[in-house]
Each structure stands twice: as C-alpha cells, then as structure tokens.
Amino acid sequence: MSDCIFCKIAAGDIPCNKIYEDADVVAFHDIRPIAPVHFLIIPKLHVASLADCGPEHEALLGRIMGLVPKLAAEQGMSAGFKTGINTGRGGGQEVFHLHVHVFGHKG
Ligand code: 5GP
Ligand code: ZN
C-alpha cells in the first residue's frame, strides 16, 4: 500500500524508533505515547485492521501476540502492561494498518 504510513515504516522508508524486526514483524515506539512506555507491533504485510483478518492470518496474529511479553520485558515492564487493538472508526482506529499497542510503565 503506497499511501500507508506503517507500510512505509515497515519498508524503512520512514524512520521510526525501532525495538524489534524480523522477516514478518516490526515493533517501534509510538510517536505520541500515552504512557511512559508505548510501542506498536505491526505485520510487514499490509492488513488494514483486525476486522480484515481471516484464518490465513492466524499464524501472523499468533506471532505478534507471542512477541508482546518478550518485548515488554525488554522494555522493562516487569510489573505488567496493557495491550490494545483499535479496530475500525468506531474502535478509534486512526492508522489502517493492523497494529497492537503495548503500553505501561517501567518497573
Ligand atoms: P490507532 O490507529 O490504534 O488509533 O493508533 C495509531 C497510533 O499510531 C497512534 O498511537 C499514533 O500516535 C501512532 N502513529 C501514527 N503515525 C505514526 C508514525 O509515523 N510513527 C509512529 N512511531 N507512530 C505513529
Ligand atoms: Zn500498510
């Protein structure tokens, strides 16, 4: 998707404060954090939202969710963290490229 900001981040065309990358997934700090630690995990594949996911995306969703505790621990969120997926306009989604919010405090 040439006009998708998260596709551009995934491709390295727009800079981000990256904390993780592999062949399928990128994680980076949110540009407008709502907590002392706030990062996003996205698939490199353009999927507009959770509402657009089907059985073919289950493995990818599992990979993303499986990374949450590892990355949260690396960010020092030892007491726990919050996760969220805003879906659709009614769900408060602003960027229509699937992403998982992880936010909270260090310690
Ligand atoms: P949502 O679509 O779930 O409402 O949230 C999109 C999130 O992406 C927001 O928290 C916003 O601050 C973040 N965001 C939007 N554009 C950029 C960007 O260019 N870089 C980064 N790092 N975060 C962004
Ligand atoms: Zn995209």
Question: Which domains, and CATH codes, for the chain?
Answer: 5-104 (3.30.428.10)
Ligand 1: residues within 6 Å at CB?
Answer: 5, 16, 28, 30-32, 86, 92-95
Unique residue bearing structure tokens 């969220």: 84
Tell me the β-bridge partners of 29. 39
Unique residue bearing structure tokens 């907590």: 35
For residue 85, the model assigns a pLDDT of 98
Measuring CA to CA, which residue among 9, 34, 29, 7 is closest to residue 19?
29
Measuring CA to CA, which residue among 17, 14, 37 is closest to residue 27?
17
Residuewise pLDDT in 10s, the chain (107 residues): 679 999 999 999 999 999 999 999 999 999 999 999 999 999 999 999 999 999 999 999 999 999 999 999 999 999 999 999 999 999 999 999 999 999 999 99
Measuring CA to CA, which residue among 32, 34, 4, 2 is closest to residue 17?
32
Mutation choice for ligand 1 from 47, 94, 97, 103, CB with most ligand atoms inside 8 A: 94
Q: 3-state class of 27 per DSSP? A: strand
Unique residue bearing structure tokens 């990358």: 21
Amino acid at 75: Q
Mutation choice for ligand 1 from 7, 40, 49, CB with most ligand atoms inside 8 A: 40
So what's the ipTM on this one?
0.99
For residue 2, the model assigns a pLDDT of 79
For residue 77, the model assigns a pLDDT of 98
